[in-house]
A and B are shown apart, each in its own frame.
Chain A
Amino acid sequence: MSTGTDTAAPAVLPAAPAPAEDVRDSAPPPRPVPDLRPPQRAARQPLRALGRRLRAVALRSAAVLALLGLWEAAPRLGLADPTFLPPVSEVAAAWWELLGNGQLGRHTWASLVRSFGGFAIAVAVAVPLGLLIGWYRPVAALLGPLLELFRNTAALALLPVFVLLLGIGETSKVSIVVYACVWPILLNTISAVGNADPTLVRLARSMDLSTPRLFQKVILPASVPAVFTGIRLAGAISILVLVAAEMIGAKAGLGYLINASQFNFAIPQMYAGIVTISAIGVAFNQLLVTIERRLSTWRVPS
């Protein structure tokens, strides 16, 4: 849009202000022509953005609505056994009932405390550790294979070990979440530090910046996008792992709710639990995406 007018201007209107770069050529001393394009664009933006947004929302909800429709129709039309897949309206009713009697709130709270607790501990530990390991390249090279090994060992495979060592209570559940969340954050942080633009590091060095300053002003901001990729992965994992852990040995939590409902053949309640978990997952991811955008507005839109 704006590039079109740029290229056309000199040809059609020879007297029109050329882009600043060309102005330099003919007459270096005068000030550059103030750029008038951004304000105009900004004025038109809200309306257009609103239209785009509405369309995007419609487009994105279409598939979800279709799925819900299919879910409602399939059991009613006899395409699926309503005993094992009750229509979505029944699930919604069960969900409402669970919400009303406080069960849903109790289980959700129990799960959130565990998964967010574990997730927060993992972020607090893995980010600084990753920065440290990433900075000392020999350490990164030494630990790299070991970290890959841990990352690729399914956390749930270690659940029995955690239960053996830490018992069946909260500690083992939070610990398994911490364990599972640490690896993606740690590995992404290490590679973020390693991939920091070497020219920027040279620049900082040439300005005689101390190492802590270099970290604060160059490495850390440069690492934000990659670190956040790890954090988002960990966010998804924290819920995934926790639910599985809660299915094995727990008296509360959404994993327990799902498992117990299935056990008692309360199938709509089981689906209500599943839907709640996926809603939490989506919301959590969306929250992290929003934070990420705030922190990296400078990135080249790709």
Chain B
Amino acid sequence: MAKIVFEGVRKTFGDFTALDGIDLEIRSGEFLVVVGPSGCGKSTLLDLLGGLSTPTAGRILLDGKPVTGPGLDRGIVFQQYALLPWRTALGNVEFGLEATGVPRRERKDRAREFLDLVGLTGFEDRHPHQLSGGMRQRVAIARSLAYDPDVLLMDEPFAALDAQTRESLQDELRRIWQRTGKTVIFITHGIEEAVYLGQRVAVMTSRPGRIKEIVPVTFGERPGTGNGTADGTADGTGPAPASAAGPQGEDLRSSPEFARYRHEIWTLLHDEVARAQQLEKEEASV
């Protein structure tokens, strides 16, 4: 059964239609990337799924039940990190656990465990302003993972980072995903990021935002990738920790297959971006 189902979802703000006719099915344990021009309603899509707003029409099902509000079964990772500046890295991860029923004593241990998972052992007592952008986002990811949601919603989480940090975090995210078996919905405007991360890439149109096409991305040589992994997670065992995509990641990004996928998505997006810019210009001149 599909983990998440969008059924004819529509969202309007006054006269403005942000999303229209969204039909989408996401399997359990899948890594789906949504890519689209700016202002196409990608973030609105995530808000709806996160329960932060409600659709104007249609419905969203999570495990077969309609989404009626926010919940700890979904964790959101924001572009701006959203860390509590008065708390340490450890305190921020604990913040995620405080909302759950985890007893106080266990929280600290769990938080340490998840900071370790994102490679931040030794930084527990730093405040956010003492951490780099990449480290802050790691803390935010650890926080979202700590309360063990089934679904991880990521809203352009790496957009504010420099290219190198972004690539290393992409590798890390794939590793974490493979290890934890979470269902990930990842929003981005970066085509390379979409191809590199996604098992499927949903390309959106602009104004109103619709799903233009869904491109399945499979690389033969990448371990733990492709449609195979999703099935292993359904029964709760999770896939075996696959070897990380460190040096292979570089190869992958420069492989002809990668270029082909990138071009395919670029072509799909190209017209949309041009159209979005035209619309923006028209609006600005009014």
Residues of A in contact with B (beta carbons under 8 Å apart): 19-22, 24-29, 31-32, 34-35, 197, 199-200, 202-203, 205-209, 213, 217-218, 221-222, 224, 296, 298-300
Contact = CB atoms under 8 A, between A and B. Distances in A.
A24 B172 contact: yes
7 contacts: A20-B120, A25-B171, A32-B122, A199-B80, A203-B76, A222-B86, A299-B129
A217 B82 contact: no
A199 B244 contact: no
A3 to B, nearest CB: 12
B120 A32 contact: yes
Contact of B122 (A28, A34, A207, A213): A34
Contacts of A22: 164, 168
Closest 9 CB pairs of A and B: A298-B86, A24-B168, A300-B129, A203-B82, A199-B82, A28-B244, A34-B122, A25-B168, A206-B76
Contacts of A35: 122-123
Interface string B63-82: 00000011110111010101
A224 B85 CA distance: 12
B96 A207 contact: yes
Given A206-B51, A207-B96, A217-B98, A24 B78 contact: no
A206 B96 CA distance: 11
Contacts of A202: 52, 76, 78, 82
Contact of A208 (B69, B127, B135): B69
Given A24-B172, A203-B76, 7 more contacts: A19-B132, A20-B119, A24-B119, A28-B171, A205-B52, A208-B69, A298-B129
A31 B120 CA distance: 8
Contact of B74 (A206, A218, A298): A206
A31 B119 contact: yes
> For the side of the interface on B, what is the size category?
35 or more
Interface string B90-122: 000001101100000000000000001001111
A208 B78 contact: no
A27 B72 CA distance: 32
Nearest to B247: A26
- Of B70, B116, B147, most buried by chain A (CB within 10 Å of CB) is B70
Contacts of B95: 217
Interface string B131-164: 0101100000000000100000000000000001
Given A24-B168, A206-B74, A217-B98, A296 B122 contact: no
Contact of A21 (B51, B135, B175, B244): B135
A25 B75 CA distance: 26
B167 interface: yes
B223 interface: no
B85 A299 contact: yes
B154 to A, nearest CB: 12
Nearest to B246: A28
B50 interface: yes
A67 to B, nearest CB: 38
B135 A20 contact: yes
Nearest to A27: B246
B97 to A, nearest CB: 10
B85 A206 contact: no
A299 B127 CA distance: 9
A205 B70 contact: yes
A221 B75 CA distance: 23
A48 B78 CA distance: 40
Contact of B50 (A25, A200, A206, A299): A206
Contacts of B171: 24-25, 28
- Of A27, A32, A209, most buried by chain B (CB within 10 Å of CB) is A32
Given A25-B168, A207-B99, A199 B78 contact: yes
Contacts of A203: 76, 78, 82
Given A20-B119, A21-B168, A24-B168, A209 B82 contact: no
